[in-house]
Each structure stands twice: as C-alpha cells, then as structure tokens.
Amino acid sequence: MRAIILEGNSEEVSRALLELGVKQQDIVLSKDTDSSQSEVGDQVGESEGCRPMPVAVARGLLSRRPLSGAMAEAIVAIYNSGKEGIFGNELCDLLSHSPAQFRGMMGAFGRRMWHTPGYEKDMFFFEQDWDNEHGFRYSLPETSRLAVEAELSEKLDGER
C-alpha cells in the first residue's frame, strides 16, 4: 500500500495526483473547513491555466487512428448534449457500458490524447464538471466541437 500526502488547493492536488499516475475518477478531495479553497464540487476537471485543445490538434486526436465505435458514439452524444453536457452515468447507459468499462474507454482516449502530435499538458478536449450527486458532466469546448464537425461529420448528419 502507498500513502501520499499533498498540501495545496483541490486544483493543485488533483494536478499533482494526475501527474503521479492516479486516475482522475479515483481522486477524492476532502473539504478544507479552515479556508475558502474550492471543494470537490468545484470543477475538478477544469483547471486554471488549462486551455481548450486547438482545432488542428483536436482533429489530429480524432483522426490519427480509427476511433472505436463506442468512443465515437460517446463523442457524438457529448457533442449533441451541447453546453448543458451529459453525465458519465448517462453515457454508460447509452453505450451499455459498466462504469469500469466506461472508465477504461476514457482512459484509452486519454492515452490517445497524450500521444497526439501537438498535444501539450495544459490542453483539454472535454470539459468536465463535477456534480456531487451525479459525478462528472462532459461537454465540448468550441474548438473540440469544430473538430468533431470536421472529422465525424458522417456520424453527425441529421443530428445537428
């Protein structure tokens, strides 16, 4: 067993744990009652200093290798959810995936992202907001939406 003790606000601790190889879904942050720092419910996936992936990099992410059918379906569902987004448990139901299968699929997508030419550590493809009742809500920033329109247009036909 390994114990890690980190000090900092939720954003700093989350970033450090991700750098250490801890999966994002395994990160649980406790509320610091002595400060006004952010809580678990405060957009853990969207960090200060991070930026949406540029369209060219996002297009490369989507096109450099074929996407699995389930991943393409998930991206289209997130696209179709608009600014409101869609919760991970809703994506699990839509894809007929267990939570573990969904996490594995998203982990594979993260690995794909890390190995995409032009990707930098401060970029994100999905916007992720944490909801204490429902978990992560996924949506796409405008640059990712444009990349999806360019690379997955055949899957979007009739859905825009």
pLDDT in the model for residue 154: 84
Closest CA to 140 of 69, 85, 92, 102: 85
Mean pLDDT of the chain: 82
Q: 69 with 94: CB under 8 angstroms? A: no
pLDDT in the model for residue 108: 94
CATH architecture of structural domain 47-156: Orthogonal Bundle (1.10)
pLDDT in the model for residue 30: 55
CA separation for the pair 2, 37 (Å, rounded): 26
Residues sharing a CB contact under 8 Å with residue 154, sequence separation 6 or more, in sequence order: none
pLDDT at 8 > cutoff 90: no
Closest CA to 45 of 78, 23, 76, 73: 23
Residue 49: Cβ-neighbour burial (10 angstroms; 0-12, 13-18, 19+):
exposed
CA separation for the pair 36, 33 (Å, rounded): 8
Chain region(s) in the chain for CATH 1.10.10.10: 47-156
137 confidence band (pLDDT: 50, 70, 90): very high
State pLDDT tens for residues 31-79: 543 433 333 333 334 445 789 999 999 999 999 999 999 999 999 999 9
CA separation for the pair 124, 88 (Å, rounded): 17
Compute the average pLDDT of residues 90-118: 95
Q: What is the DSSP string of 3-62?
A: -----S-HHHHHHHHHHTT--GGG------TTS----TTS-TTS-TT-EEPPHHHHHHHH
